[in-house]
Amino acid sequence: MSVSVRTSDLVQAYTREVTSRLEELSGQAASGSLDDAIELLTSALDKGGVIQAFGTGHSEAFAMEIAGRAGGLIPTNRIALRDVVLRGTYDVGVLTGSSLERDPSVVNELFALSPVGPEDVFVIASNSGVNGSIVGLALLAKAKGHKVIAVTSMAHTLKVEPKHPSGKRLCDVADVVIDNTAPFGDAVLEMPDGINVGAVSSITAAFIAQLLTIGTANRIAEEGRKPPVYISANIPGGDDHNQALEDLYKDRIRRDA
């Protein structure tokens, strides 16, 4: 017979799990653990490059957190698997299920369709870090001379088999690896029937995205320049401010719906 647990107790337990991870990431950042990634991002922007963000499944939320939001850096671009349908040769049927994100062959067309410049840096998020499109894009970016920053769960990725023909994981390819601190399986609360709930990777990844944004903007400010940051389009002057900076990267960044 299963034993019931009060929802309020589960909420408190989940809050502790999330809070402890955010505090851990904050402490690591304060001690310099993100400095290498911030250096790569700042260096790319200093050279006129763009930050290319990519994630599939729920990790696409990380790419959205990096590219195109209020308080975020303007020279950023979000690469999405759906681009091979919207702009490429793939049929819309491939967007059903998870087969596309596991397909390593999709990255050649995806990369070709993306507005990637020679000085761009890639930030790729994947909790599992093993799917074919994730590892494939990281490998292709590296082969073309780009630096790659990975955001992944080390606890998870080391316990699952790679799905890319190379046998590599995202963490094996990247120049800098950031652990999102999510556990194996992502969910942190065990229910009485043995089913786990309460995933944390989306929250910790979003926090990491903001830490990288803050660190990069501050580094640019320390260099004596004004960070190219979006302000909300819903405040007076927001649209004019944002459009003027976006125009500096015309045809190099996309802001799709």
| Amino acid residing at 59 | S
Q: Which domains does the chain show, CATH number per domain?
A: 7-249 (3.40.50.10490)
Alpha carbons 134 and 68: distance in angstroms, whole number: 21
Query: What confidence score (pLDDT) does residue 4 get?
Result: 72
Q: What is the pLDDT of residue 256?
A: 85
Query: What pLDDT score does 3 carry?
Result: 62
Q: Give pTM, 2 decimals.
A: 0.95
Measured CA to CA in angstroms, residue 64 lies from 29, 58, 104 at distances of 21, 11, 22
Which residue carries 């590892």 as its tokens?
Answer: 135
pLDDT at position 188 is: 98
DSSP 111-168: HHHS---TT-EEEEE-SS---HHHHHHHHHHHHTT--EEEEE-HHHHTTS---STT--
Please give the average pLDDT of every successive group of 10 residues along the chain, which has 257 residues: 78 98 98 98 98 97 96 98 97 95 97 98 98 98 98 98 97 98 97 91 98 98 97 95 94 90
pLDDT at 1: 42
**pLDDT confidence of residue 2:** 54
